[in-house]
Homo-oligomer: A and B are copies of this chain.
Amino acid sequence: MTPTLQRWFPILQWGSYYNRSLLSADGVAAVVVTLMLIPQSLAYAQLAGMPAQAGLYASMAPLVLYALMGSSATLAVGPAAVTSLMTAASVGAVVQQGSVAYVEAALMLALISGALMLLMGAGSLGFLANFLSHPVISGFVSASGLIIAASQIKHLLGIKLQGDNLYQMIPQLWQQLPSFHGPTTLMGLCALGLLLLMRLQIKPFLKRVGVSHSTADLISKAAPVSVLLLSIGLSALWHLSEQGVRVVGAVPQGLPPLTLPGQSSNNSASRWAEQWSLAQVLFMPALLISLVGFVESVSVGQSLAAKRRERIDPDAELRALGLSNLGAGLTGGFPVTGGFSRSVVNFDAGARTPAAGILTAFGLAFAALFLTPWLFHLPQATLAATIIVAVLTLVDFNVFARTWRYAKADFIALFLTFSLTLVVGVEAGLIAGVAASVVLLLYRTSRPHIAVVGQVPGTEHYRNVLRHKVIVQSAILGLRVDESLYFANARFLEDTIAAQVAMRPGLKHVILQCSAINDIDASALESLEIVNTRLIAADVKLHLSEVKGPVQDRLQRSQLLTELSGQVFLTHHQAVQSLM
């Protein structure tokens, strides 16, 4: 067993054997990831409705903090597409985008989300992520991809669009489309075309000219930087900003600032009241962002770890992500998570330890210190194109047909999440999906298989009367429940026994064969007590047979066994023999 301190701070493990060869591997990975992260950070800041520098800030402190507590060697933490969209949707619902209050609310969101993740990690509550079933996540991510792409159309065409869902955006788009801004649209579409071309053609091309598979992969991942440079060059050369093309503009040069909640307001009393009410409004969005971010991060981390037969610790991941988000909230960022593409690039580029993340943070710090003036002329349309190309991979329509074929209940959850996310918004979609999963789960388990059993002639076996030729006694009813008994199916058991007894006028004994019952919760216990009482009133005795050890132990702590009108038998056959 790893000591607690090392479990909480995995850096104490890998730090103890860190050496020059690991450093050089991590250094190479850091250079590649930095090149990839500069455009991505700016783009996700734009998606989240934050100023450009917030994207860079959100990729620095979180990377360093993750390295202290994270259990994945290669996960790269920072702004990600879906969490950035969720940030924009939840903060935009409270504060007007573009204001100081908006930035502060995003910081608050990161802080709450970080605190929640730390708490969940400390309390081993990672199982809460199980509420997000696979169909819900698929539907949510696909719909989010579409909304993200739609939200960037305004930057791509230089028009104005508002809204968090397609229901709000499509009519506006229809109205605004004719008034697109020529130069912006040209720049946007060219960037989009170039990026798509790179994504589709650069790898095959590089392979044809003899570049190795993994190098080709890395070059294609870092290629968006060239589009970025090209756009900046053209924009500066042709003074596009003077022609109405919206550019990133002045980005403050320097390292991340220390940002505390509510620091912009002066009056300290009203400040705390305001911050508190803001925190209450942002609680639910922060919880959803935490769960979605955690699921994304753990899936990526686990996939990468498995390739090297390593493993990650979900609770450690929660704590590390929590710390990263607290860091993001305190240094001018916004909610972060372990991103898919950046982590894969980090892995492929040969990162060996989380030190690669620390080195990447240095790379980004260098960019924030010295490269930000160069970003002035970067057209927002180019960033929009970067986002659109990135999120296209999120949208997966095959999952609909696959899930429909496989399981109708899962399809309902998938479709509900997808359509509500698109039409109403990210929060509504996610909550409805979770609710649907839970309702469908209860529906599935509320009617367990309950078989009437009879004796297979010449044996001591008792089997389902519908499937086998068996002997039954008219005064004895044998029932086998093929499921643990708990609140979702307790009443069904009551109903079934009531129905079976009502059909059999001469009945004297009911024997419940408990061979498949692994647990009986308090609701089911109550139901069994009710069944016992009702059967006494109807002059029928209730017996149990083949009760498992742990269930028997638990029942000993209740009144059922003393109040039971019948007996508890070791085997069903003994029960039938002694009651015949």
Q: Which residues of B contact A133 (CB under 8 A)?
A: 486-487, 490, 521-523
Q: Which residues of B contact A518 (CB under 8 A)?
A: 482
Scan residues 279-335 of chain A and give those whose CB is less than 8 A from a CB of chain B.
Answer: 298-299, 302-303, 305-311, 314
Known pairs A309-B502, A407-B521. 8 more at Cβ < 8 A?
A: A127-B442, A127-B446, A128-B442, A133-B490, A308-B538, A311-B502, A402-B558, A410-B522
Q: Which residues of B contact A499 (CB under 8 A)?
A: 311
In the docked arrangement, what's the CA distance between A127 and B490, Å?
A: 11
In the docked arrangement, what's the CA distance between A406 and B551, Å?
A: 11
In the docked arrangement, what's the CA distance between A442 and B127, Å?
A: 8
In the docked arrangement, what's the CA distance between A284 and B527, Å?
A: 28
Complex interface: stretch among A46-54, A95-103, A433-441, A454-462: A433-441
From residue A413, how far is it (CB to closest CB) to chain B in Å?
Answer: 8
Closest residue on chain B to residue A299 by CB atoms: B530
- Whether B557 lies near A406 (C-beta < 8 A) is yes
- Whether B134 lies near A305 (C-beta < 8 A) is no
Contact with B along A484-506 (1 / 0, CB 8 A): 00111111101100110110010
Scan residues 197-216 of chain A and give those whose CB is less than 8 A from a CB of chain B.
Answer: none
A272 within 8 A of B: no
A131 within 8 A of B: yes
26 contacts between A and B (CB under 8 A): A127-B443, A129-B491, A130-B442, A130-B492, A131-B442, A133-B487, A134-B487, A134-B490, A134-B522, A134-B526, A302-B498, A302-B534, A306-B501, A306-B535, A307-B537, A307-B538, A310-B502, A314-B495, A402-B559, A406-B525, A407-B554, A410-B521, A410-B522, A414-B522, A438-B438, A441-B487
A405 within 8 A of B: yes
From residue A567, how far is it (CB to closest CB) to chain B in Å?
Answer: 21
In the docked arrangement, what's the CA distance between A127 and B439, Å?
A: 9
In the docked arrangement, what's the CA distance between A405 and B81, Å?
A: 48
In the docked arrangement, what's the CA distance between A308 and B505, Å?
A: 11
- Whether A307 lies near B534 (C-beta < 8 A) is yes
A472 within 8 A of B: no
Q: Which residues of B contact A414 (CB under 8 A)?
A: 522
- Whether B522 lies near A406 (C-beta < 8 A) is yes
- Whether A523 lies near B134 (C-beta < 8 A) is yes
In the docked arrangement, what's the CA distance between A535 and B495, Å?
A: 46
Q: Which residues of B contact A429 (CB under 8 A)?
A: none
Q: Which residues of A contact B (CB under 8 A)?
A: 127-131, 133-135, 298-299, 302-303, 305-311, 314, 402-403, 405-407, 409-410, 414, 437-439, 441-444, 446-447, 482, 486-492, 494-495, 498-499, 501-502, 505, 518-519, 521-523, 525-527, 530, 533-535, 537-538, 554, 557-559
Closest residue on chain B to residue A519 by CB atoms: B444
Known: A134-B523, A525-B406, A557-B405. A501 touches B534 (CB 8 A): no
In the docked arrangement, what's the CA distance between A128 and B128, Å?
A: 22
In the docked arrangement, what's the CA distance between A108 and B502, Å?
A: 39
Neighbour of A406 across the interface among B299, B530, B554, CB < 8 A = B554
- Whether A534 lies near B306 (C-beta < 8 A) is yes
Closest residue on chain B to residue A444 by CB atoms: B519
Q: Which residues of B contact A127 (CB under 8 A)?
A: 442-443, 446-447, 488, 492
Closest residue on chain B to residue A486 by CB atoms: B441
From residue A556, how far is it (CB to closest CB) to chain B in Å?
Answer: 10
- Please name the 7 residue pairs, one residue from A and one from B, whose CB atoms are nearest each other, closest first: A133-B487, A306-B534, A410-B522, A134-B523, A127-B446, A134-B526, A307-B537
Of residues A127, A299, A410, A519, which shows the largest number of chain B Cβ atoms within 10 Å of its Cβ? A127
In the docked arrangement, what's the CA distance between A525 and B482, Å?
A: 22
In the docked arrangement, what's the CA distance between A308 and B491, Å?
A: 19
In the docked arrangement, what's the CA distance between A530 and B526, Å?
A: 41
In the docked arrangement, what's the CA distance between A489 and B518, Å?
A: 16
Q: Which residues of B contact A310 (CB under 8 A)?
A: 502
In the docked arrangement, what's the CA distance between A523 and B444, Å?
A: 15
Known: A305-B498, A406-B557, A522-B406. A130 touches B534 (CB 8 A): no
- Whether A487 lies near B130 (C-beta < 8 A) is yes
Closest residue on chain B to residue A298 by CB atoms: B491
Q: Which residues of B contact A298 (CB under 8 A)?
A: 491
In the docked arrangement, what's the CA distance between A521 and B134, Å?
A: 9
Known: A133-B522, A442-B127, A526-B134. A311 touches B498 (CB 8 A): yes
From residue A496, how far is it (CB to closest CB) to chain B in Å?
Answer: 10
Q: Which residues of B contact A311 (CB under 8 A)?
A: 495, 498-499, 502
Q: Which residues of B contact A488 (CB under 8 A)?
A: 127, 130, 441
Closest residue on chain B to residue A446 by CB atoms: B127
In the docked arrangement, what's the CA distance between A307 and B522, Å?
A: 24
Neighbour of A491 across the interface among B130, B492, B505, B530, CB < 8 A = B130
